[in-house]
C-alpha cells in the first residue's frame, strides 16, 4: 500500500526515474562504464566488461534487497548481486571504487534526466503563456496594487509577465543542469589513490561514456552545493507557478470573477454547497509549492558535511530530491492544464474596470493637468481631494472634475471624456507584450 501521495495522487512520468529499479540500473550502468574504462587502460581482462554487461540483465531488485537485509549496505548489496551473476570476472566489479563514486555519478545521471523532463514541461508552459499573452494583449482590466484598484493594465501583461519568469526559470534550470551533470571516480577521500597513475584518464573515460563532466575535485562525495542549486531552482519554478495559481484564485472570487478554472460537466465543487466552484486545482498548486520550497533548507544544510564527508545528507536526499522533481513536474503539468482551459468573463472584467467610477484614472487626469500647465504637486492634491469627494458623493470622478473651476482652466469636457476612457490608458502594454514574447522565442 502506498504511503506517500507522490506514489499515487501526484504521480507523473517523473516517478519512473526515481524508483528502485531505475536506481539499481543507474548504479550498474556506472559500474559497467568503470569496468570498460579499466579494460581500455589494461587494468582488467579485456573480456571482463562483456561478462559484467551480461550479468547486469540478470540482477533483480529483490535479490539486491535480500543481500542488503543481511549486510546493511545498499550499494555493496548491488555489487555482490552483480558479481554473483558474472561467469568469471565478478571480482572486477567495483574495482578501485568507493560507494559514492557509483552513487553520486548515478545520481547525476538521474538528476540530469529529471531536469530534462522539467525543462520540456517549462517549454510547454511558456508556449501556453505566450499564446495567452498575445491573445489577451488588448483585454483591458483594472490593475491592483496592495489589493486596491490601481490603474488599467491588460491580461496580456499578466501572462507576458509569467511567460518572462518562465523563460528565466528555463535559463536557471539549464545552469543547474550543467552544474549537476558531473560524476566522480576519485575514491574514498577524492585522491584517486586506488586507481593508480592513470586515474585521471580512467575518470575521464568513465564520464565520457556516461555523457558527464568529470568533477575537477571532490571529497568522498561531489559538493552538495551542486545539488542545492538544483533543488533551489525547482523551488523557484514552484514559486513561479504559485504566483500564477494565486492570481487565478483571487481573480475567481465571486465578487471579482474575472477568470475561473475550467469546470467539467460533472465536477463537484463542495460536498455540502452544490453551488460552489472552488479553484481547488490552483489551491493545490499553492499548497505543494510550500513543500517544494521547504526542501531548499535541507539541501543547504547538506552542504557543510564534516571533514571529507559524513552521512547526514544521505537519508534526507532520498526524500528531497525525488520529491522536489516529482512535485515540480506535477505542478507544471497541472499549471498547463489549468491555463489551457481557463475561462474568462469579459463582462465582469469590464464591470470591475469601472467599479471606482473613474477613480483608477486619477493619475491620468493629474498628468494631463500638469501637461496643461498646473504644477504637479498642485494637480496631485486637487485629484486627491476630488477622488475623496467622488467617493463620498458616490459620483463619477469625471463629474466632480467637470464642476471644478480650477480644472476648467486647463481641461475642457472633450479632454475629460478622453481622459476617462480606461481602454486608452494602457501605455505601451501591447508593445511590451509583443516584444517580450518575440524576444524570447
149-174: per-residue pLDDT in tens?
A: 999 999 999 999 999 999 999 999 99
242 has a pLDDT exceeding 70: yes
- Among 313, 336, 354, the domain-final residue is 354
Give residue-wise pLDDT tens across range 14-57.
999 999 999 999 999 999 999 999 999 999 999 999 999 999 99
Same domain, 71 and 190: no
Residue with the larger pLDDT of the pair 440 and 32: 32
Q: 159 lies in which domain range?
A: 104-140+153-264+275-354
Mean pLDDT over all residues of the chain?
Answer: 95
Is 148 part of any domain? no
Taking residues 332-340, report their average pLDDT.
97
Give the phi and the psi of residue 300 in degrees, each rounded to 5: -65, -35
Give the phi and the psi of residue 94 in degrees, each rounded to 5: 70, 25
Taking residues 78-104, report their average pLDDT.
96
Taking residues 238-257, report their average pLDDT.
97
pLDDT tier, 274 (very low <50, low <70, confident <90, very high otherwise): confident
Same domain, 43 and 175: no
Residue with the larger pLDDT of the pair 239 and 276: 239
pTM, full prediction: 0.94
pLDDT tier, 3 (very low <50, low <70, confident <90, very high otherwise): confident
Asked if residues 260 and 341 have their Cβ atoms less than 8 Å apart, the reply is no
Is 441 part of any domain? no
Catalytic center residues: 146, 270
Q: How many domains does the chain have?
A: 3
pLDDT tier, 439 (very low <50, low <70, confident <90, very high otherwise): confident
pLDDT tier, 441 (very low <50, low <70, confident <90, very high otherwise): low
Same domain, 221 and 196: yes
Task: Give the whole-angstrom CA distance, residue 436 versus residue 133.
Answer: 10
pLDDT tier, 233 (very low <50, low <70, confident <90, very high otherwise): very high
Same domain, 52 and 88: yes
Task: Give the whole-angstrom CA distance, residue 9 versus residue 13.
Answer: 13
Domain containing residue 177: CATH number: 1.20.200.10
437 has a pLDDT exceeding 80: yes
What grid cell was written down for 222? 561531489
Same domain, 313 and 367: no
* pLDDT confidence of residue 272: 73
* pLDDT confidence of residue 440: 66
* pLDDT confidence of residue 236: 98
Q: Is 148 exposed, middle or buried (0-12, 13-18, 19+ CB in 10 A)?
A: exposed
Residue with the larger pLDDT of the pair 275 and 385: 385
* pLDDT confidence of residue 421: 97
Taking residues 67-80, report their average pLDDT.
96
Taking residues 91-111, report their average pLDDT.
97
Domain containing residue 69: CATH number: 1.10.275.10
Taking residues 134-143, report their average pLDDT.
97
Amino acid at each position: 500500500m502506498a504511503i506517500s501521495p507522490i506514489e499515487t495522487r501526484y504521480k507523473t512520468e517523473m516517478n519512473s526515474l526515481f524508483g528502485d529499479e531505475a536506481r539499481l540500473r543507474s548504479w550498474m550502468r556506472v559500474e559497467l562504464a568503470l569496468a570498460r574504462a579499466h579494460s581500455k587502460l589494461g587494468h582488467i581482462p579485456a573480456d571482463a566488461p562483456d561478462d559484467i554487461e551480461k550479468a547486469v540483465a540478470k540482477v533483480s531488485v529483490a535479490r539486491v534487497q535480500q543481500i542488503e537485509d543481511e549486510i546493511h549496505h545498499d550499494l555493496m548489496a548491488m555489487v555482490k548481486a552483480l558479481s554473483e551473476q558474472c561467469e568469471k570476472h565478478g571480482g572486477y566489479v567495483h574495482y578501485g571504487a568507493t560507494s559514492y563514486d557509483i552513487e553520486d555519478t548515478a545520481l547525476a545521471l538521474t538528476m540530469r534526466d529529471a531536469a530534462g523532463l522539467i525543462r520540456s514541461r517549462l517549454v510547454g508552459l511558456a508556449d501556453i503563456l505566450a499564446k495567452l499573452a498575445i491573445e489577451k494583449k488588448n483585454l483591458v482590466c483594472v490593475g491592483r496594487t496592495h489589493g486596491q484598484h490601481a490603474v488599467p493594465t491588460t491580461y496580456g501583461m499578466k501572462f507576458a509577465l509569467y511567460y518572462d519568469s518562465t523563460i528565466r526559470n528555463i535559463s536557471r534550470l539549464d545552469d543547474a543542469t550543467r552544474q549537476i551533470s558531473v560524476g566522480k571516480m576519485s575514491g574514498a577521500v577524492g585522491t584517486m589513490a586506488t586507481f593508480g597513475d592513470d586515474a585521471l584518464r580512467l575518470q575521464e573515460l568513465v564520464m565520457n561514456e556516461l555523457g558527464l563532466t568529470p568533477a575537477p575535485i571532490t571529497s568522498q562525495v561531489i559538493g552538495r552545493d551542486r545539488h542545492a542549486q538544483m533543488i533551489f531552482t525547482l523551488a523557484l519554478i514552484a514559486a513561479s507557478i504559485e504566483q500564477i495559481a494565486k492570481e487565478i484564485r483571487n481573480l475567481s472570487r465571486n465578487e471579482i470573477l474575472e477568470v475561473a478554472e475550467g469546470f467539467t460537466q460533472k465536477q463537484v465543487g463542495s460536498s455540502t454547497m452544490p453551488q460552489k466552484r472552488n479553484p481547488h486545482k490552483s489551491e493545490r498548486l499553492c499548497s505543494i509549492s510550500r513543500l517544494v520550497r521547504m526542501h531548499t533548507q535541507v539541501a543547504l544544510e547538506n552542504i557543510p558535511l564534516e571533514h571529507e564527508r559524513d552521512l547526514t545528507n544521505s537519508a534526507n536526499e532520498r526524500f528531497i530530491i525525488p520529491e522536489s522533481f516529482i512535485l515540480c513536474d506535477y505542478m507544471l503539468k497541472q499549471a498547463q492544464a489549468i491555463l489551457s482551459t481557463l475561462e474568462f468573463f469579459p463582462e465582469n472584467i469590464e464591470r470591475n474596470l469601472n467599479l471606482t467610477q473613474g477613480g483608477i484614472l486619477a493619475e491620468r487626469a493629474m498628468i494631463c493637468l500638469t501637461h496643461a500647465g498646473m504644477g504637479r504637486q498642485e494637480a496631485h492634491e486637487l485629484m486627491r481631494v476630488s477622488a475623496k469627494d467622488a467617493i463620498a458623493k458616490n459620483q463619477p470622478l469625471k463629474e466632480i472634475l467637470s464642476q471644478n473651476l480650477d480644472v476648467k482652466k486647463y481641461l475642457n469636457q472633450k479632454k475629460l471624456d478622453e481622459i476617462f476612457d480606461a481602454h486608452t490608458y494602457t501605455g505601451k502594454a501591447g508593445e511590451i507584450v509583443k516584444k517580450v514574447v518575440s524576444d524570447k522565442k
